[in-house]
Chains A and B, each alone.
Chain A
């Protein structure tokens, strides 16, 4: 099924948001995940299932400034 990840359409196999993070090799503690404009609590990554057409945003920490 197709979802949008950071604005780009991508074909994914489904499953949970945590599964998606795993396939992308993203450490869950390094990212805030939004599904359809709503931030997911980290505890809910494993229980939130992706649906066709979902908009997923991975927001990485960006800490510099000096």
Chain B
């Protein structure tokens, strides 16, 4: 694959970087990145990955754009209200960069479809809003052996971490299972400061690009928590848990399953 003159211009600021260069830009152009959720976290990730020239971006989302989404889901614009998010997302991605091909999955991620979809990608980005889906994504990335960039946002707090299956701590190494549904507030109740999606989603995109390029130090075995009120990042060391129910020495999860009701809720944190 050779770049056209226009592409060399478009990606010149990447190509100038010794860590990227023409070779790295070709890696990006050949890469396939899956965004599970084309919402808050998926929006900035999609836009920057599109701008970067990622070869294929997959978008999974079964929702249509709602007016309440526009406060943070910058992939979607006011005239998109009522339209499927994957359709709106594909349009924005290709308007920004026609080099990118977009695969749309207008469906919910389930234990039934996850592996088949994940198998087609190099890196998975978690941009979903509920625990059952986050655990499903963790498990599916493990079984498909795909690196996962996990993200979460809530009120004024965000978290991001990278998981390389069988090499670094997985989500279940820390959180064994989703919280009991009775204890969680719904996303609508909890609220979120919109810009957090941009901060965490762009870190997820950065991690994905690093993985594709094979450069730097991935955000593995570390949870990076961001407190927007204090403008403070904090890194929490985590490590593989030998008792992990998924990736530990005696796993009890040996195949994919839907761990709870995805509509149960998205937020837990005692009000401090």
Contact = CB atoms under 8 A, between A and B. Distances in A.
A50 B139 CA distance: 33
Contacts of A39: 173-174, 238, 241
A60 B268 contact: yes
A32 interface: yes
Contact of A62 (B154, B234, B237, B241): B154
Contact of B129 (A27, A41, A61, A65): A65
Contacts of B69: 66
B14 to A, nearest CB: 27
A59 to B, nearest CB: 6
Interface residues of A, number: 23
Given A41-B243, A63-B265, A64-B153, A29 B183 contact: yes
| B37, B184, B266: residue with the most chain A Cβ atoms closer than 10 Å | B266
A4 to B, nearest CB: 12
A30 B174 contact: no
6 closest pairs, A vs B, by CB?
Answer: A66-B39, A66-B129, A62-B152, A63-B266, A61-B268, A64-B154
B131 interface: yes
Interface residues of B, number: 49
Contacts of A19: none
Interface of A: 6-7, 25-27, 29-30, 32, 34, 37-39, 41-42, 57, 59-66
Nearest to B66: A66
Contacts of B175: 32, 59, 61
A60 B192 CA distance: 16
Contacts, number: 105
A63 B184 contact: yes
B92 interface: no
Given A39-B238, A41-B243, A59-B175, A66 B128 contact: yes
Contacts of A38: 239
B41 interface: yes
B174 A32 contact: yes
Given A41-B243, A65-B128, 11 more contacts: A6-B234, A29-B179, A37-B237, A39-B174, A39-B238, A61-B184, A61-B269, A63-B187, A64-B154, A64-B187, A65-B40
B17 interface: no
Nearest to B201: A65
A57 B223 CA distance: 11
B95 interface: no
Contact of A29 (B37, B42, B126, B180): B180
B192 A64 contact: yes
B141 interface: no
Interface in B196-242: 197, 223, 225, 234, 236-239, 241
B268 A63 contact: yes
A37 B266 CA distance: 26
26 contacts: A25-B270, A29-B183, A30-B183, A30-B268, A32-B174, A42-B176, A59-B175, A60-B269, A60-B270, A61-B175, A61-B267, A61-B269, A62-B153, A63-B130, A63-B131, A63-B134, A63-B184, A64-B190, A65-B126, A65-B127, A65-B129, A65-B151, A65-B152, A66-B69, A66-B129, A66-B266
